[in-house]
Structure 1
Amino acid sequence: MPPTERYRTAWDGYWEASSGAPGEPFWDADPALTAARDLTLLTPHADPALPIVDLGCGNGTQTRYLATRFARAVGVDLSHAAVAHARRSDPAGSAAYEQLDLSDPEGARALHARLGDTNAYMRAVLHQSDPADRPGVVATLATLLGTRGRALVLEPTGEAKTVIRSVAERPGGPSAKLRSVFTHDLRPGEVAEGEIAALLRGAGLDIADEGALTLAMSETHADGTPVALPARWYLAAPTAPAP
């Protein structure tokens, strides 16, 4: 089975077994802890009149928040089941949701043709893609930005595995949220240090800024605080043409 089909099958299985409720997935933290904070890194550089695309939107929790800050928000996901959940969770239609294979250049070009240049939000997507597919995912990001868009890319670092392992090994074993990840064979890979920067530059994007932060999960520790994964963020912009 080709890699994309393997993880499409895995993600559809996961989302089909899910209710789609906000907070049910291990990573699906409240937007107050995620997109709201993250946009403080993006909005100083981005034109709010442009649409924003949430790449790997899942059930649309973050997409719905993005729709309150940009002229238009579109969530895209590899999984048809995820997109169906996102649409059901947004009866007011504050955002739009579409199925998109991020490694498919034709799909990316078609979406850009409909939306024009966009901003983009991509939270913890690349490590879920096989290494061979990552250049294609970042190429889609570049296609969507066009010449005017800006992107915020956030990815866990290698240290995140240690945090997840500690959660899995708590007394009583993994929580239901984490067991569901294991059951459906969602394989979080590791993005090597420097790989994201190289991928962005290889797709014709400049890194306008970057830094370290943590990604809040919906999973909590025994004291009720959110599990947080060490991560890095990148503010990407199309490379300006040479004068």
Structure 2
Amino acid sequence: MDVSQRYSEAWEGFWAATSDAPGEAIWDADPSLSAGPHSELLLPYADAALPVVDLGCGNGTQTRYLATRFARAIGVDLSHAAIGHARRADPEGVAEFAQLDLTDGDAVRALHERIGDANVYMRAVIHQSEAEARPAVAAAVATLLGARGRAFVAELTPASKDVLRQAGQGPDGPPKKLRRVYDHGLKPADASEEEVPELLRAAGLTTLDSGHTVLPQTEQLPDGTRIDLPARWFVLAVG
């Protein structure tokens, strides 16, 4: 299956309207708060000599960091505009970037055939995917891992909705970066608590380690504290 035209256009519109400034997207946190600590959880299980594929890479902030920890880093995103941002932010070619619809099984398999078994980094992709597309996203992780790769997957939990509601209770409503997410028809924290682990199991993935965390954002609550969205993380292998 492919994602719906509405969903594809929502992401294309979001990234087309986003500047190249770091942190302009609400989830574009510094890698010291994201891919850095996440790599420390993944690397005890992963072969860093294998490539790492950053699924839903956006403007490539985390991908460029992952290139310092793995032999090769490839960022993929549904949005052509996002890939444009990522390439402009990486003039030295530290990482590689390509447009990819994770629900296109043939395209995912072609990537695996091209690069071989790979590690996967996926931060907050399933929860905002269309419900009918989520099994295919989980399956894409398994396809890219093959026998030797390991994955780090972090997804927002429903508790994030409470934080987002709190963020919108300021006198002016949601802060600017969060409002842009809603204005483009994107739906954060849309998966249930048990849906994500069930999807991962159904895709043939085994959990090697897991825990609870938060995904820091680049906006603040009305009281000035940073928006930290509750999430669960999983280190995964096929089988």
Q: TM-score, normalised by structure 2?
A: 0.96
Contact 1:20 1:82 in 2 (8 A): no
2:136 corresponds in structure 1 to 136
Post-superposition shift, 1:3? 4.8
1:66-92 Cα distance to aligned partner (Å, 9 max, x none): 011000000000000000110001001
Aligned partners of 1:53 and 1:75: how far apart in 2? 6
Aligned partners of 1:3 and 1:75: how far apart in 2? 19
Contact 1:75 1:98 in 2 (8 A): yes
Contact 2:50 2:117 in 1 (8 A): yes
- CA change 1:168–1:22 in 2 (3 A) is same
Equivalent residue runs for 1:83-162 within 5 Å: 83-162=83-162
Number of equivalent positions? 238
Contact 1:127 1:191 in 2 (8 A): yes
1:193 corresponds in structure 2 to 193
Farther-moved stretch of structure 1 (100-109 vs 199-208): 199-208
Contact 1:157 1:193 in 2 (8 A): yes
Identical columns (%)? 57
Equivalent residue runs for 1:1-243 within 5 Å: 3-221=3-221, 225-239=225-239
SS of 2:192 mapped into structure 1: coil
AA aligned to 1:201 is R
1:192-239 Cα distance to aligned partner (Å, 9 max, x none): 222222111111111111111111111124565421011100111011
Contact 1:51 1:115 in 2 (8 A): yes
- CA change 1:159–1:129 in 2 (3 A) is same
Ranges in structure 1 where 5+ consecutive residues have no aligned partner: none
Q: TM-score, normalised by structure 1?
A: 0.94
Aligned partners of 2:6 and 2:189: how far apart in 1? 14
SS of 2:153 mapped into structure 1: strand
- CA change 1:148–1:116 in 2 (3 A) is same
Post-superposition shift, 1:111? 0.4
Contact 1:218 1:227 in 2 (8 A): yes
SS of 1:233 mapped into structure 2: strand
Aligned partners of 1:163 and 1:222: how far apart in 2? 11
1:124-149 Cα distance to aligned partner (Å, 9 max, x none): 00011111111111111101000000
Contact 1:74 1:96 in 2 (8 A): yes
Contact 2:157 2:189 in 1 (8 A): no
Aligned partners of 2:220 and 2:88: how far apart in 1? 26
Aligned partners of 1:6 and 1:189: how far apart in 2? 18
Contact 1:154 1:231 in 2 (8 A): yes
SS of 1:211 mapped into structure 2: strand
SS of 2:4 mapped into structure 1: helix
AA aligned to 2:77 is D
Aligned partners of 2:61 and 2:229: how far apart in 1? 19
Aligned partners of 1:115 and 1:4: how far apart in 2? 28
Post-superposition shift, 1:168? 1.4
1:143-190 Cα distance to aligned partner (Å, 9 max, x none): 100000000110111010010111112122222211211221112252
AA aligned to 1:228 is D
AA aligned to 1:29 is A
